């Protein structure tokens, strides 16, 4: 493959036009970010979406590295004086690293092998004679006598024949076409079996792997979550894993290629086939297959984590509420913080809910006073230790005092990580670690995105086997997910934290801090152009970031829209055509009239008249219709409650409403208002075949489910979406 062919290969793979691939690659090479290209260069790329561009960029990096590796291999073989025209053509024809490395294998510099030692002892000619299979009379031992050389450690015929067979075994194992056939055979016919260590299996930790005590499954059907579970069990020495295959069928592949006719060497060749398979080919292909299974499983797990994280970050904010955040606890009490609608801490303290009747009564009195004093409209309860008791306390407080207050259980995963972070110390220096946790739990419901970006995404806990996958790839995927979400939603420049700003296209952590420093020294930004005064934020960075930053109440109303400053002139022309100016964006009545007119516009005709791109005109029209729009507002609000439900109250057949909290390969976990999340197994999601739970539900979805099983002793609840839909 040549570098100039890469664009065409990518276009074919992604099913896009080559012109789109060419344009996207050019923009990426010029230093443009994926969010910027996806949002503001639609005319250039033919409106390629964010995900398409990320896939394109990933393949671009892979193929460029592949071409580089091709060049390295060609040079190394040429240095050995072994590069023929046929070999060069074969190398240039390859399209995957695996094919390339297969061809390179015979020429690769290795540690001293049995075959190499045999060649050094002058036994390669004997190996060639055996492989030709032209001799039909006599014995192999007689023919091998010619190669006896005590000075070269070849004292007899048996030693000579053994060395020749070592040479042949290695030669067979390095046949690239044969390896590809055997690789395919192993994939289609291999069976992975596991057994549980007898002693370790009896331990509490070993019970987790009980289903794998005597387990067998074709490798071609192993789902990703099972592969990762088996890998974990093997790594912890709970499981022994073996790859099983019909060896006779595998050996037939070798004999079909190399056994041409009957000769005095037939038996020796069959022995060489068996040795090559057992000692060289199978161990190598087994490592490859296990590595490929793991890589595929890890990719699936990482993609699920990224999808779940995206859905979690995009949850609709419960804006406008004064919120009481409760971080439950037994011995040290329940930490409490009251924050206003902007997230500012109004009050804080500790409630001793579980410290006897007296402690609970005093806590109720204290909480009630704060709710009334600050007009608290919502209570956010962390789902950690003592969450159930804290929920009982909140429900009783609301009922006994007839309060117009709702509560919800908030996933507190990562709150402790944030509380002890440098960012938390900087944001809340006057509060200790425990109170910061309560503040975070309160803020999470006001604006999930703004709060969750402050936490390492791996600590948020939406996914499966996150500690068993490639951590570098996981971090990259999660960072890309956060970047995509933050830029999709947009950020208010005058209130955003550095944790939020650093995910905006074109802004890194240093520039984010410089923006905050400028804001602190000069007051709120009055225009997007003022960003150019920020240290280390030049024209290139401004181009990338400006459209994703909003300024509410700035000099230009367009600064509070997704219209990029480079298109302000075009936006003003469109407003003028409608009989308005930019002031209509801040006047509710005028904006409604403008919106009504814009909805009747033929975007293609208007774009032609203004000599502008159709996608840009369409985007500007949409932005002018809803200035300051938060795309999360169109999503369902989180589910809140006033009364508590106990596990003992739940009966099979009950229809309940819950929120999807996490999605895995095998099902979805749903919060139905109690500490224990219920599981909808993939088989209970729909009456139709479901390839993956993500095809049916998303994190944050509010759904009706039917309880189909309750195991109070083990704290497990089985739910069904399909039966709930059928019942309704």
Confidence (pLDDT) at 686 = 94
Any domain includes 313:
no
State whether 532 and 680 are in the same domain: no
Could you tell me the CATH number of the domain that includes residue 435? 3.30.420.140
Out of 634, 660, 687, a domain closes at 634
pLDDT above 90 (res 409):
no
CA distance 683 to 692: 10
pLDDT tens string 239-274: 999 999 999 999 999 999 999 999 999 999 999 999
State whether 337 and 420 are in the same domain: yes
CB atoms within 10 A of CB 1: 17
Instruction: Give me the mean pLDDT over the 228-236 stretch.
Output: 95
As given in the structure block, the two tokens for residue 476 are 């990259």
Any domain includes 236:
no
State whether 584 and 698 are in the same domain: no
Write down the pTM of the prediction.
Answer: 0.87
Could you tell me the CATH number of the domain that includes residue 134? 1.10.3500.10
Could you tell me the CATH number of the domain that includes residue 595? 1.10.150.310
State whether 124 and 41 are in the same domain: no
Out of 634, 656, 683, a domain closes at 634
Confidence (pLDDT) at 645 = 62
Any domain includes 203:
no
State whether 464 and 612 are in the same domain: no
Nearest residue to 460 via CA among 305, 252, 316, 587: 305
pLDDT above 90 (res 387):
no
| Reported confidence tier of residue 386, pLDDT bands at 50, 70, 90 | confident
State whether 370 and 467 are in the same domain: yes
CB atoms within 10 A of CB 29: 9
CA distance 496 to 498: 7
Confidence (pLDDT) at 646 = 67
Any domain includes 642:
no
Nearest 5°: the CA angle 504, 505, 510 is 65
pLDDT tens string 83-140: 999 999 999 999 899 999 999 999 998 888 999 999 999 999 999 999 999 999 999 9
Any domain includes 281:
yes
pLDDT tens string 665-693: 999 999 887 767 899 999 999 999 999 99
pLDDT tens string 693-722: 999 999 988 899 999 999 887 778 999 999
Confidence (pLDDT) at 726 = 86
CB atoms within 10 A of CB 155: 12
Whether 282 contacts 250, CB under 8 Å = yes
| Reported confidence tier of residue 631, pLDDT bands at 50, 70, 90 | confident
pLDDT above 80 (res 623):
yes
pLDDT above 80 (res 490):
yes
State whether 331 and 405 are in the same domain: yes
pLDDT above 90 (res 354):
yes
CA distance 224 to 65: 27
| Reported confidence tier of residue 146, pLDDT bands at 50, 70, 90 | very high
> Which DSSP string do the residues of 267-302 spell out, in sequence order?
HHHHHHHHHIIIIIIHHHHHHHHHHHHHHHHHHHHH
State whether 89 and 121 are in the same domain: no
pLDDT tens string 655-664: 888 889 899 9
Instruction: Give me the mean pLDDT over the 451-476 stretch.
Output: 88
Confidence (pLDDT) at 640 = 76
| Reported confidence tier of residue 238, pLDDT bands at 50, 70, 90 | very high
As given in the structure block, the two tokens for residue 365 are 């009195």
CB-based burial, 509-546: b 16+ in 10 Å, e otherwise? eebbebbbebbeeeeebeebebbeebeebeeebbbbbb
* 439 compared with 641, residue with greater pLDDT: 439
pLDDT above 80 (res 637):
no
As given in the structure block, the two tokens for residue 528 are 């997007």
Out of 459, 480, 501, a domain closes at 480
Could you tell me the CATH number of the domain that includes residue 711? 2.40.50.140
Whether 522 contacts 588, CB under 8 Å = no
Confidence (pLDDT) at 644 = 63
CA distance 646 to 682: 25
**Mean per-residue pLDDT over the chain, rounded:** 94
Instruction: Give me the mean pLDDT over the 581-598 stretch.
Output: 95
Angle between helix axes 614-625 and 588-598 (nearest 10 degrees) is 150
The total domain count for the chain is 5
Domain range spanning residue 364? 323-480
3-state secondary structure 189-235: HCEEEEEECCCHHHCCCHHHHHHHCEEEEEHHHCCHHHHHHHHHHHH
CA distance 177 to 254: 11
pLDDT above 90 (res 58):
yes
Confidence (pLDDT) at 214 = 94
The three-class DSSP label of residue 517 is: helix
Confidence (pLDDT) at 728 = 66
CA distance 182 to 281: 9
State whether 269 and 368 are in the same domain: no
Any domain includes 315:
no
Any domain includes 163:
yes
Confidence (pLDDT) at 148 = 96
Instruction: Give me the mean pLDDT over the 153-171 stretch.
Output: 97
Dihedral of the alpha carbons of 657, 437, 499, 527, in degrees to the nearest 10: 80
Classify residue 45 by its DSSP letter: H
State whether 434 and 526 are in the same domain: no
Any domain includes 342:
yes
Classify residue 154 by its DSSP letter: B
Could you tell me the CATH number of the domain that includes residue 34? 1.10.10.650
- Residue carrying the six token digits 């596990």: 647
3-state secondary structure 576-614: HHHCCCHHHHCCHHHHHHHHHHHCCCCHHHHHHHHCCCH
Confidence (pLDDT) at 650 = 80
State whether 160 and 255 are in the same domain: yes
Q: Which of 2-6, 213-217, 436-440, 584-588 has the lowest mean pLDDT?
A: 2-6
State whether 153 and 292 are in the same domain: yes
């Amino acid at each position: 493959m040549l570098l100039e062919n890469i664009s065409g290969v990518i276009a074919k793979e992604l099913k896009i036009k080559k012109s789109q691939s060419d344009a996207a690659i050019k923009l990426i090479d010029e230093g443009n970010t994926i969010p910027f290209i996806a949002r503001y260069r639609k005319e250039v790329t033919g409106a390629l979406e964010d995900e398409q561009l990320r896939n394109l960029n990933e393949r671009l990096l892979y193929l460029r590295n592949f071409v580089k590796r091709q060049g390295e291999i060609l040079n190394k073989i040429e240095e050995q004086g072994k590069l023929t025209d046929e070999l060069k053509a074969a190398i240039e024809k390859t399209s995957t690293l695996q094919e390339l490395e297969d061809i390179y294998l015979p020429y690769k510099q290795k540690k001293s092998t049995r075959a190499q030692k045999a060649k050094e002892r002058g036994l390669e000619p004997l190996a060639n004679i055996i492989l030709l299979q032209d001799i039909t009379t006599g014995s192999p031992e007689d023919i091998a006598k010619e190669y006896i050389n005590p000075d070269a450690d070849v004292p007899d015929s048996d030693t000579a024949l053994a060395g020749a067979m070592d040479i042949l075994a290695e030669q067979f194992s390095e046949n690239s076409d044969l390896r590809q056939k055997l690789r395919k055979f192993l994939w289609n016919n291999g069976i992975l079996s596991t057994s549980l260590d007898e002693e370790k299996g009896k331990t509490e930790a070993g019970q987790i792997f009980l289903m794998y005590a005597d387990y067998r499954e074709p490798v071609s059907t192993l789902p990703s979550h099972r592969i990762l579970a088996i890998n974990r069990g093997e790594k912890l020495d709970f499981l022994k894993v073996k790859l099983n295959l019909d060896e006779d069928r595998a050996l037939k592949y070798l004999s079909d290629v190399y056994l041409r006719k009957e000769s005095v060497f037939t038996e020796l060749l069959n022995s060489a086939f068996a040795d090559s398979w057992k000692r060289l080919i199978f161990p190598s292909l087994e490592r490859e297959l296990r590595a490929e299974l793991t890589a595929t499983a890890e990719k699936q797990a990482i993609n699920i984590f990224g999808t779940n994280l995206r859905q979690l970050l995009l949850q609709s904010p419960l804006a406008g509420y004064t919120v009481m955040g409760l971080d439950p606890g037994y011995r040290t009490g329940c930490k409490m913080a009251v924050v206003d609608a902007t997230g500012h801490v109004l009050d804080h303290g500790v409630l001793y809910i579980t410290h006897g009747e007296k402690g609970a009564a005093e806590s109720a009195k204290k909480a009630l006073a704060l709710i009334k004093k600050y007009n608290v409209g919502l209570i956010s309860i962390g789902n950690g230790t003592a969450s159930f008791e804290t929920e009982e306390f909140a429900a009783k407080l609301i009922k006994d005092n007839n309060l117009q207050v709702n509560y919800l259980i908030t996933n507190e995963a990562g709150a402790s990580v944030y509380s002890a972070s440098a960012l938390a110390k900087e944001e809340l220096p006057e509060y200790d670690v425990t109170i910061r946790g309560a503040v975070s739990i309160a803020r999470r419901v006001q604006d999930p995105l703004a709060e969750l970006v402050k936490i390492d995404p791996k600590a948020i806990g939406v996914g499966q086997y996150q500690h068993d996958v490639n951590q570098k790839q996981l971090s990259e995927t999660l960072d890309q997910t956060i970047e995509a979400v933050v830029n999709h939603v947009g950020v208010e420049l005058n209130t955003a934290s550095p944790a939020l700003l650093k995910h905006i296209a074109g802004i890194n952590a240093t520039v984010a801090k410089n923006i905050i420093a400028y804001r602190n020294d000069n007051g709120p930004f009055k225009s997007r152009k003022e960003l150019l005064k920020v240290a280390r934020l030049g024209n290139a960075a401004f181009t990338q970031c400006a459209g994703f930053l909003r300024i509410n109440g700035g000099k230009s109303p367009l600064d509070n829209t997704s219209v990029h400053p480079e298109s302000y002139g075009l936006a003003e022309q469109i407003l003028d055509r409608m009989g308005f100016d930019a002031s209509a964006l801040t006047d509710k009545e005028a904006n409604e009239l403008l919106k009504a007119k814009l909805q009747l516009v033929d975007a293609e005709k208007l774009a032609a008249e203004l000599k502008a791109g159709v996608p840009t005109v369409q985007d500007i029209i949409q932005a002018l219709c809803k200035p300051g729009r938060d795309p999360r507002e169109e999503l369902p609000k989180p589910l809140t409650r006033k009364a508590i439900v106990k596990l003992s109250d739940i009966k099979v057949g009950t229809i309940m409403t819950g929120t999807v909290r996490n999605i895995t390969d095998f099902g979805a976990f749903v919060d139905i208002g109690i500490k224990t999340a219920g599981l909808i197994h993939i088989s209970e999601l729909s009456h139709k075949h479901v390839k993956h739970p993500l095809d049916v539900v998303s994190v944050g979805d509010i759904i009706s489910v039917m309880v189909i099983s309750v195991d109070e002793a083990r704290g497990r609840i089985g739910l069904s979406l399909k039966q709930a839909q059928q019942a309704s």
